[in-house]
Structure 1
Amino acid sequence: MRAIRLHAFGPAENLSYETIPRPVPASGQVRIAVAAAGVHLLDVSLRKGVEGPPAPLPPLPTTPGREVAGTVDAVGPGTDPAWLGRSVVAHLGFAPGGYADYAVTDAARLHPVPEGLDHARAVAMIGTGRTALGILQFAGLGPGSTALVTAAAGGIGTLLVQYAKNAGATVVALAGGPAKCALATANGADLAVDYTTADWAGTVRAHHPDGGTVLFDSVGAATARTALGLLAPGGRHLVHGWSGGPLTLTDAERAALAARGITSQVVLGPAMLEAVGAPDPLRVLETRALAEAAAGRLRPAVRRFPLAEAAAAHRALETRATTGKVVLEP
């Protein structure tokens, strides 16, 4: 089969398109003929050799990728044969192997792909979708809310915009460039502002002088600092990423935010899982995400690349040249 292989940590060019043996499912596992594989920023970090939570560095050589959708073509010993031929989607957890024609995973990780949802969008919901719904547990959105969404044209941002609008909130989308702003508007944002322009914060204030009630922050750094100034007293800062670098505040800035009643919370990891309140929180979020997409309430945007062009997909993702969820298709 064909697969993307990484033999040394480093730049995207280290991803090579090779022929390797087809994997064989073990007991309790299935093999999926992959139709779509998700590309995540975590994949980029691991490719570079950046170790840290939530995933450890894999032993080399490795086939990256932790999100796949396709058709079950083989089952391992003791696995229910009813899975054979079914259209499925799965998050592989910390076991890589998704960037390939075939991937194996535990049958317990499988979800049937809902009717009317293609494989690429199913992949978007199994990882990015579950994260978006996990973040939204902390938002309390409804009529009267004003949501500020950074990276609003990205995989998670697109879903946050749609969900907030469906909940009756006013949505201010912050995105980089006219094309991304247009996408955010098409997804229902009431105002889309290009935060690469000089006085983007002034534009937001002119339209929404009362300020936002919640800030969804995946960018960090200077963008987050400016966006915090757009929150109304009592506003909430929900952190789910820092693609532009960490936000560092002075003691005086922290004191000023506290005086306005602004709270800040990282809503990834344990906090997200504990909020679900179920024995298998990730699976609960995955099931909810797929159901939202199947019902048409959430419509994931995808950017498709051929499997052979995984290096180009990584470069596009890390330079913010993409919109929606990046997906590889064999």
Structure 2
Amino acid sequence: MHAIVLHAFGPAENLRYERTDDPVPAPGQVRIAVAVAGVHLLDTALRQGMAGPGPRPVPTELPTIPGREVAGTVDALGEGVDASWLGKRVVVHLGMVPGGYAELAVCDVTRLHAVPDGLDEAEAVAMIGTGRTTLGILQFTDLGPDSTVVVTAAAGGIGTLLVQYAKNVGATVVGLAGGPAKVAKVAANGADLAVDYTAPDWAAQVKNFLRAGEGNGENDRKGATIVYDSVGGPTALAAVDLLATGGQHVVFGWSGQGIQDGQPLAFTADDLAARGITSRNVLGPPMVQKAGGDLRVLEARALADAAAGRVRPAVQRFPLAEAALAHRSLETRATTGKVVLEPGRSRSRA
């Protein structure tokens, strides 16, 4: 098979498209002919030898095939696996085990979900990872029609879904994105206000919007009630300044770190008391604990929501052979939606 192999930690160019041995499923495992593999910003940190946020260890042995989310068709079974899985369209989050950036991948059968009818493999991959995380984030907030939320990186995979989930319950949504093209996507996704956070007056634009909603009786917007923050740094601080008393700052990343903007915001207890807000990083153990220790429940819900049309993930596709380009694009914030690799897709000619 062909796969993306990392022989040494470092830049995106270290991701090599190579021929390697086909994996063989062990007892209790299946092999998947991969149609789509998910790419996560965390993958770029692991590629560089950094652990990234949360309890995610760097692989200790190289070479390795990165990637932890795949969808495709089961083409081989290990000993003890029910024969009914053979030929099924499936999607899986591999957990801490890499191996997704490949034409074939193996995993424990207990991790599998059948891809619902009407959902393509790329959308399934988006929901098994990004959708799962989005639902995990939403566990920490009580969204409703009286909510006014600010979503940083609203054109990204999680941001796109947060906007949709918030609008589904009647919340007022302000989506932040970098550049006119991304802002247009955020507006088309349903945000009540889409703002270019690279503009010097973006915070003033949002404040004017919030003031315009004061006293309207239906949804009195004296300030934001929730900031969903995956960016960090000055952009996140300016967003937090938009929170009304009692507002929530929910952190699930700082994607600009080492790129443009992001450093995780750190507030002291006195800072929070003075602002009258709360701030919490929900990544890792807090999210797992809130889900009752079983992230598969969130995976199943995310897939069901997409299959029912309640949300629709945004996807940006790259050929498997162009994994390095996909990583560079993620690191420079040149992508929108969930980034995926497709083994069956030819290299682009651009």
1:247 aligns with 2:249: no
Tell me the distance in 1 between the aligned counterparts of 2:267 and 2:316: 38
Identity %: 70
C-alpha contact (below 8 Å) 1:225/1:247 kept by paired residues: no
Tell me the distance in 2 between the aligned counterparts of 1:111 and 1:51: 28
Amino acid at match of 2:274: A
- CA positional deviation for 1:152: 0.1
Tell me the distance in 2 between the aligned counterparts of 1:111 and 1:97: 18
Amino acid at match of 1:261: G
Please give the secondary structure, in 2, of the residue aligned with 1:168: coil
- Equivalent residues in 2 for 1:275-314, closer than 5 Å: 275-277=290-292, 280-314=293-327
Amino acid at match of 1:89: V
C-alpha contact (below 8 Å) 1:63/1:100 kept by paired residues: yes
TM-score (norm: length of structure 1) = 0.96
Tell me the distance in 2 between the aligned counterparts of 1:119 and 1:250: 41
What is the match of residue 132 of structure 1? 134
- Equivalent residues in 2 for 1:106-125, closer than 5 Å: 106-125=108-127
Q: Deviations over 1:266-305 (max 9, x none)?
A: 111121122223xx52100100100110011110000000
Count of residue pairs the alignment pairs up: 326
- Equivalent residues in 2 for 1:118-267, closer than 5 Å: 118-209=120-211, 210-244=222-256, 245-248=262-265, 255-267=270-282
Once the two structures are overlaid, the 10-residue window that deviates more, 174-183 or 100-109, is 174-183
What stretches of structure 1 move > 6 A for 4+ residues in a row? none
TM-score (norm: length of structure 2) = 0.91
C-alpha contact (below 8 Å) 1:177/1:196 kept by paired residues: yes
- Note the residue ranges of structure 2 that are not aligned, 5 or more in a row: 212-221, 257-261, 344-350
C-alpha contact (below 8 Å) 2:253/2:264 kept by paired residues: no
- CA positional deviation for 1:139: 1.6
C-alpha contact (below 8 Å) 1:306/1:329 kept by paired residues: yes
Measured at CA, do residues 249 and 271 of structure 1 come closer, stay the same or move farther in structure 2, by a change above 3 Å? closer
- Note the residue ranges of structure 1 that are not aligned, 5 or more in a row: none
Tell me the distance in 1 between the aligned counterparts of 2:273 and 2:179: 32
C-alpha contact (below 8 Å) 1:158/1:324 kept by paired residues: yes
Q: Deviations over 1:299-324 (max 9, x none)?
A: 00000000000000000001100000
Tell me the distance in 2 between the aligned counterparts of 1:45 and 1:260: 33
C-alpha contact (below 8 Å) 1:68/1:98 kept by paired residues: yes
1:318 aligns with 2:343: no
- CA positional deviation for 1:166: 0.3
What is the match of residue 288 of structure 2? 273
What is the match of residue 19 of structure 1? 19
Amino acid at match of 1:232: A
Tell me the distance in 2 between the aligned counterparts of 1:170 and 1:51: 35
Amino acid at match of 2:229: D
Tell me the distance in 2 between the aligned counterparts of 1:113 and 1:249: 40
CA-atom RMSD in angstroms: 1.2
